[in-house]
Amino acid sequence: MGLRLDQIVPWGRSRSEYIQMFDLTEADLQRKILDCGSGPASFNFEMTQLGHSVISCDPIYQFSTEQIQQRIDETYDVLLTKVEATRENFVWTNFRSPEDMAQSRMASMKKFLADFDSGLQQKRYRTDELPNLPFDDQQFDLALCSHLLFLYSDQLSLEFHLASIFEMCRVAPEVRIFPLLLNMTGETSPFVEPVMQTLKEQGYQVNLRQVPYEFQRGGNQMLEVKTL
């Protein structure tokens, strides 16, 4: 069965959030970046505007701009209501309020939507999805994964997590994953420790790094994996 649009919760983040979430330095931004599970984020658009190299992969890109826009409109109020109902689980430093957060995310998603058709034509947006990527070994310098792995540990198996991370390590010598929390709970994913252990046993360099970003309370760490 193929992906259905009603299964998707589209929620886009900006370049400035990416920089904080993944602790990206100016040198990092100059690298060839693969963004996995990127959804309607404006990171690709904003980076392209500045002359940087980013390829974004997500099965949501099989749908049209109009279909994605409709899905964003359908889920916007639902997500805002969830955040408002659990606002004590979030840190309100980057955003003043749930409404401010939602408006910021909508601004990012509007940038993505305006760029989507041209990005598809330029092959900056691709429908490829984890754990099978069609790229050459070490084609990229850095692979990122935001708000997919670990966040959805209830829906995605440990085997899926490992296969996805091994695949990202195949196409890039460095992988960064954020956050490490279960969605809307504030709890660390139970997969973090077994994933780290398996990666270390396979000879990868694995680190938990604190980052200058915390929106979900306690969600201020990323997993960094390097090929030795």
pLDDT confidence of residue 10: 83
pLDDT confidence of residue 121: 98
Average pLDDT score over the chain? 94
Query: pLDDT digits over 81-124, tens only?
Result: 989 999 999 999 999 999 999 999 999 999 999 999 999 999 99
In degrees and rounded to multiples of 5, residue 133 shows phi and psi of -115, 140
pLDDT confidence of residue 7: 62
- Asked if residue 185 has pLDDT above 90, the reply is no
CA distance 87 to 165: 31
pLDDT confidence of residue 221: 97
Please tell me the pTM assigned to this model: 0.94
- Asked if residue 65 has pLDDT above 90, the reply is yes
Query: pLDDT digits over 112-169, tens only?
Result: 999 999 999 999 999 999 999 999 999 999 999 999 999 999 999 999 999 999 999 9
Structural domain boundaries in the chain? 5-226
pLDDT confidence of residue 1: 35
User: In Å, what is the CA distance from 205 to each residue of 56, 113, 130, 190, 198?
Assistant: 25, 37, 21, 20, 11
Closest CA to 74 of 7, 129, 17, 13: 7
Assigned token pair, 30: 């100059």
What number is the average pLDDT over the span 46-64? 97
CATH topology of domain 5-226: Rossmann fold (3.40.50)
Res. 6 pLDDT band, cuts 50 70 90: low
